[in-house]
C-alpha cells in the first residue's frame, strides 16, 4: 500500500504510474493486473500494468490527490511458459483469460517452435497431471494457477531429405525426389573423391 502525501517528490499532475515507479513496482507476490486507486475508502480506478508493459498503453485520466491510497493485492493466478516461446517466463492471468492471451503476452512462439500443440503440467489432487493442448484448443483453454506450459522444438527429423557421407566431393543433406537414384545422388554430391573405393558403395 502506498499513501500519497503532498510532501512526496511527485509532479503536480502525478498519476499512479509515477508512484508505482517510485515504489519500485509491485513486490514479488503483488499483482500487476489488479492495482487499485482508493480515495476516501472507495476504489476510483484500476490499473492493469500489462496494458503498459505489453501494449504500451496507460490510463492518462487517472490523477492523484492528497491522501489517495494505491493498493496492490496479492496475485490470484500465475502460470509459467517454458521452451520455445519468445518470452518464456511467468505471467499473471485474470479470471477467464485463455491460453491465446498467454501467447500474446509471451510474444508468441519462437521460430523453432512446434506450433501445433503445447504440453501442460498441472497440479492435481495427489500429484502432477500431464496434458496436451492442441492448436485448435488455444482460444478456448483456460489455464489455472500453477499451470506449467512447454512449447517443444521442431523435430529435427526433416522429411524428404537424404544424407550422403564419406568419400564424396560434397557430403551432406540433399532433397529427396521421386525417381532419385544412388547414381543421381552421387552426381548431386559432385561425384566420388579420388580416394573412394567404388566397390564399397
Q: Which of helix, strand or coil describes residue 175?
A: strand
Run means of pLDDT, 10 residues per run, the chain, 201 residues = 48 77 89 94 93 83 85 96 96 96 96 93 84 95 96 70 81 76 85 74 57
Q: Which of helix, strand or coil describes residue 103?
A: helix
Strand order in the sheet with 78-83: 90-92, 78-83, 148-151, 117-123, 128-134
Amino acid at each position: 500500500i502506498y499513501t500519497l502525501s503532498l510532501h512526496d517528490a511527485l509532479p503536480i499532475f502525478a498519476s499512479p504510474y509515477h508512484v508505482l515507479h517510485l515504489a519500485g513496482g509491485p513486490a514479488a507476490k503483488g499483482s500487476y493486473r489488479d492495482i487499485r486507486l482508493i480515495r476516501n475508502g472507495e476504489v476510483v480506478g484500476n490499473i492493469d500494468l500489462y496494458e503498459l508493459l505489453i501494449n504500451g498503453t496507460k490510463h492518462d485520466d487517472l490523477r492523484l490527490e492528497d491522501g489517495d491510497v494505491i493498493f496492490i493485492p496479492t496475485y490470484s493466478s500465475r502460470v509459467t511458459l517454458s521452451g520455445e516461446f519468445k518470452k518464456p517466463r511467468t505471467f499473471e492471468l485474470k479470471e477467464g483469460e485463455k491460453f491465446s492471451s498467454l501467447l500474446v503476452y509471451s510474444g508468441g512462439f519462437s521460430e523453432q517452435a512446434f506450433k501445433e500443440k503445447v504440453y501442460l503440467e498441472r497440479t492435481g489432487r495427489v500429484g502432477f497431471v500431464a496434458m496436451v493442448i492442441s492448436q485448435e484448443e488455444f482460444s478456448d483453454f483456460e489455464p489455472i494457477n500453477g499451470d506449467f506450459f512447454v512449447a517443444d522444438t521442431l523435430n529435427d527429423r526433416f522429411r524428404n531429405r537424404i544424407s550422403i557421407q564419406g568419400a564424396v566431393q560434397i557430403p551432406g543433406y540433399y532433397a529427396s525426389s521421386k525417381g532419385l537414384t544412388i547414381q543421381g545422388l552421387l552426381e548431386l554430391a559432385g561425384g566420388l573423391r579420388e580416394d573412394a573405393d567404388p566397390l564399397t558403395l
